[in-house]
Structure 1
């Protein structure tokens, strides 16, 4: 190795070490060692301690327009919505607006309106290229409709859409209705997310009967190896208490009754909805809040006999004697 090569390698090492030192010290003021802050309004980087302007005329990476509320921000934004599994094309396709107006807000002529309507028709046809996509579009529409009726959050709808896509890809639909598999996917997603709905509630908004939903649900869970824990009775308590307009004290007391029942193994083999409804009724009586068995029965969609039986068991497990 020659002297020239040695000197060249040494100079390169010095230059690299100098660059590392600059990188480490770039957030520190070179005058006083204070903290540097970025002033986006003036495009400057200044020291918070001594006020030294370290950098100016920085690049503004934000939009060139201003907005003063969320509606104006959405209207001026030129980017699309994020991709989602809740749409059959994941939201990547375009839509032609239903308003018959041009870019300036002026009404279109009758000939232009007819042309736009024809474009909308062909756009809708091209969005679903084959029977599989048409199947998916119908199922995801059903999931969205039922989830809205049940008041389920967006994460449950997204999970249900993923479950249905898996069932479709693994050919689990032959011999089963689209509505049945879609309902089963939503039922499974709600239980996975910890916001379960009873089978009766699901049946009330579905287009298939209860037996088909239960049968399809078991089949989908088994074939897709979904890990779904048994429904926790406590997960129903907040919704029932809210629908009955009961206090937080009743909700807390109902949770205590259910935890005590779990410790003694009373919940085994019992319907979680029935246990939750009975706990709400018992907690309301213990807290001196007026509620009838028929009101709880209507909210929980179970019979008064079930509430009465579970209510006695919960109070006996806690050592209280129920009043007949």
Structure 2
């Protein structure tokens, strides 16, 4: 009989295969790390300009043309990011097509910046015209484009943040989808939605301030706002006069203590039921005027009126009403000097 064939060779190959599998993760880790210089056994450093691995001791180039897996470019603000990006922007409700359509640059130049020939320039001009026509083919799309452009214009004039523009655009889209815009002017509806967006986002802007940059009268904007707010069920709470205090205080260049005192005056007078039926801006102006007197940081009624966008008569009326409501001229919480100041100011007002 033939003796059985020894299996030592197969067992050896199995052990070698097992050791090779154990060494595989190590080789993967070593591949990720820079290799060691074969000349002096010093780990090379990477030169970012040309992506080479160079030994710092002997200068040997161990590896060149390495693949850089990091970002291609860095941007530190929105404008720089938009300039360097080679893809479209994110979907945004502030554009009528939400930024999903094609945009053809207005410059008649190729990718290298070279001017186009006359024939190509004519073709690009025709493509640009047809592209604009296709993007606003329907009447509703043209209406939406006009309204969103109006919202952008007014928001820029008022210095409102991007979040307010987005909310106003979404509200206008809702009103358009529910057929609430029919029979109303585009500018008036856009202004009303921008004012509603300010209310939702907690941005203190009065209806008078918003209508100063609008092409529609205040009465029409107010009527449109009340109608759309009810139909869209926005459920907005009344404006708190304290929201206007920081901006008015900054415009009058008053210290922080005056703003804090004005908010305390507002809280106290609101508790007395004085705010019902009153304008929040005028109410805040009167409280800020009182706070300036209490903190010995006087401003004239004309200066307060100019900074708050109300008339001097409004400031004077709110001042007198708030003083009478709190009985500041006879209250025990104030010093005699402060009461004398308020009495004198009330007598001269």
Shorter-chain TM-score tier: 0.7 to 0.9
Structure 1 segment 138-287 matched on structure 2, within 5 A: 138-287=146-295
Alignment partner of 1:133 is 2:141: yes
* Alignment deviations for residues 60-94 of structure 1 (CA, whole Å, 9 cap, x no partner): 8754x243755665444333211111111111112
**Equivalent of 1:86 in 62, 87, 94:** 94
Give the 3-state SS of the residue equivalent to 2:248 in structure 1: helix
Structure 1 segment 29-108 matched on structure 2, within 5 A: 62-63=70-71, 65-67=72-74, 74-108=82-116
Give the 3-state SS of the residue equivalent to 1:133 in structure 2: helix
Alignment TM-score, normalising by the size of structure 1: 0.76
Closer, same or farther in 2 for the Cα pair 1:67/1:201, shift >3 Å? closer
CA distance in 1, matches of 2:275, 2:173: 35
Alignment TM-score, normalising by the size of structure 2: 0.71
Closer, same or farther in 2 for the Cα pair 1:289/1:111, shift >3 Å? farther
RMSD, aligned CA: 2.4
Structure 1 segment 108-123 matched on structure 2, within 5 A: 108-123=116-131
Report how many aligned residue pairs link the two structures: 269
* Alignment deviations for residues 11-64 of structure 1 (CA, whole Å, 9 cap, x no partner): xxxxxxxxxxxxxxxxxxxxxxxxxxx9xx959xxxxxxxxxxxxxxx98754x
CA contact (8 A) 1:187 1:196 kept: no
**Equivalent of 2:312 in 281, 296, 304:** 304
Closer, same or farther in 2 for the Cα pair 1:82/1:314, shift >3 Å? same
Q: Which moved more, 1:199-208 or 1:131-140?
A: 199-208
Gaps of 5+ in 1: 1-37, 44-58
Give the 3-state SS of the residue equivalent to 2:124 in structure 1: helix
Closer, same or farther in 2 for the Cα pair 1:227/1:62, shift >3 Å? farther
Structure 1 segment 287-302 matched on structure 2, within 5 A: 287-302=295-310
Give the 3-state SS of the residue equivalent to 2:321 in structure 1: helix
CA distance in 1, matches of 2:323, 2:68: 66
CA distance in 1, matches of 2:171, 2:80: 36
Give the 3-state SS of the residue equivalent to 1:216 in structure 2: helix
CA distance in 2, matches of 1:96, 1:72: 20
CA distance in 1, matches of 2:33, 2:73: 16
Larger radius of gyration between Structure 1 and Structure 2: 2
Closer, same or farther in 2 for the Cα pair 1:66/1:165, shift >3 Å? closer
Closer, same or farther in 2 for the Cα pair 1:244/1:92, shift >3 Å? same
CA distance in 1, matches of 2:267, 2:33: 59
CA contact (8 A) 1:237 1:251 kept: yes
